[in-house]
Amino acid sequence: MNKDTKTYSAAGEVGSILETRSTFTRLKIELTKAPLTAKFGIFIIIVFVGLAIFAPLIAPYGEAEVFPEPYAPWSSNHLFGTDQIGRDIFSRLIFGARNTVGVAFATTILAFLIGGALGLAAAINRSYLDLFLSRTVDVLMAIPQLIFALVLLSIFGSTIINLIIIIAVLDSTRVFRLTRAVSLNVVVMDYVEVAKLRGENISWVMRKEILPNILPPLIAEFGLRFCFVFLSIAALSFLGVGIQPPTADWGSMVRENASLIQFAQYDLKAAMTPLLPAAAIALLTVAVNFVVDWFLHKTSGIKDEK
């Protein structure tokens, strides 16, 4: 780490000087060193995003195209059979990637915009605004999120827009808490005081001094929140109060085909049908969690004791 020097000069002063690398090479090195689970996660995420974007090109049939035979068995025509009113399961699974993942993604983005902005403002302002927001969030978080979502959906009705807004607002409470907490750690730093002493305005302090330093934990949190939102929306759809038919959605597909599972002894393949969308949900969540776990391990800098 250090080399010996007989004579003293500031420029040549010894210290742990790291080699400067470009972002791209650093990324490449990190990726090759990533554990298998993280590589697997990245691969799955890329596949799912591809499916979501190119759904109409990949799916053999339309999202709501109805065929004469309901509950058709798995065959070359219908890879995973058809559902209770004769729609192709495989096509609906692919369109489901677009709908379910898309809605969850939009919700998470919205939650971060709301929670992130308010959290940052509360951390900088630290007066009545902070007190008011923090107390409000405490109260909102005292009701279990799924229960709160159910209450709100019963009032406003289950449209996709309502779903996105309700879940985003409820989830933004957690984003608020995290943003506020990590920002508070940065706000007390001397370099923020230096900027204030220089007379910089609030917006500059937020953008240049605080935001770049709270980004890594927020990115990790984005992954975790996405998983949570994704599972919540899937649960609500499964319960029949989330994304509504005829939109293809993994949560409601599980519910619609659930009764097939009773016939496992006669037709195992058919019985697997309701598990396919559920497995799709699980697979994507696992993938994101693996990547976040790796990212957290990389950025936390905390080395576990051996």
Site for another protein in 269-298 (CB under 8 A): 271-272, 274-275, 278-279, 281-282, 285-286, 288-290, 293
Minimum separation from the CB atom of position 209 to another protein (A): 6
Query: What tokens were used for 232?
Result: 């919540």
- Please pick, from the candidates 122, 182, 229, 234, the single residue that binds another protein as defined by CB under 8 A: 234
Shortest distance in whole angstroms from residue 6 CB to another protein: 8
The residue within the footprint of another protein, chosen from 106, 235, 269, 296 (CB under 8 A), is: 235
Q: Could you say whether residue 162 binds another protein (CB under 8 A)?
A: no
Please state, in angstroms and rounded to a whole number, the distance separating the CA atoms of residues 201 and 229.
Answer: 35
Q: For residues 61 and 252, which CB has a smaller minimum distance to another protein in the complex?
A: 252
Q: List, as one string, the DSSP characters of the chain.
A: -----SS--STT----PPPP--HHHHHHHHHHHS-HHHHHHHHHHHHHHHHHHTHHHH-SS-TT-B-S-TTPPS-SSSTT-B-TTSBBHHHHHHHHIIIIIHHHHHHHHHHHHHHHHHHHHHHHH-SHHHHHHHHHHHHHHTS-HHHHHHHHHHHH---HHHHHHHHHHHHHHHHHHHHHHHHHHHHTSHHHHHHHHHT--HHHIIIIIIHHHHHHHHHHHHHHHHHHHHHHHHHHHHTTSSSPTTS--HHHHHHHHGGGGGGTTT-HHHHHTTHHHHHHHHHHHHHHHHHHHHHHHHHH-PPPP-
Which is nearer to another protein, 54 or 132 (by Cβ)? Answer: 132
- In the complex with another protein, the residue whose CB is nearer, 57 or 139, is 139
Site size for another protein (CB under 8 A)? 83
Of 57, 127, 155, 203, which lies in the binding site for another protein, with binding defined by CB under 8 A? 155
The answer to the question of residue 134 lying near another protein (CB under 8 A) is no
Hey, what amino acid is at 176? F
Q: Tell me which of 53, 79, 113, 151 binds another protein, using CB under 8 A.
A: 151
Q: Which is nearer to another protein, 69 or 193 (CB)?
A: 193
**Shortest reach from residue 227's CB to another protein, in Å:** 7
Contact pattern for another protein over residues 177 through 216, marking x by CB under 8 A: ------------xxx-xx-xxxxx-------xx--xx---
305/134 Cα distance (integer angstroms): 35
Map residues 58-97 to x or -, x wherever contact with another protein holds by CB under 8 A.
----------------------------------------
Site string for another protein, 2-41 (x = CB under 8 A): x-x-x-xxxx-xxxxxx-x------------x---x----
Nearer to another protein, 33 or 54 (CB): 33
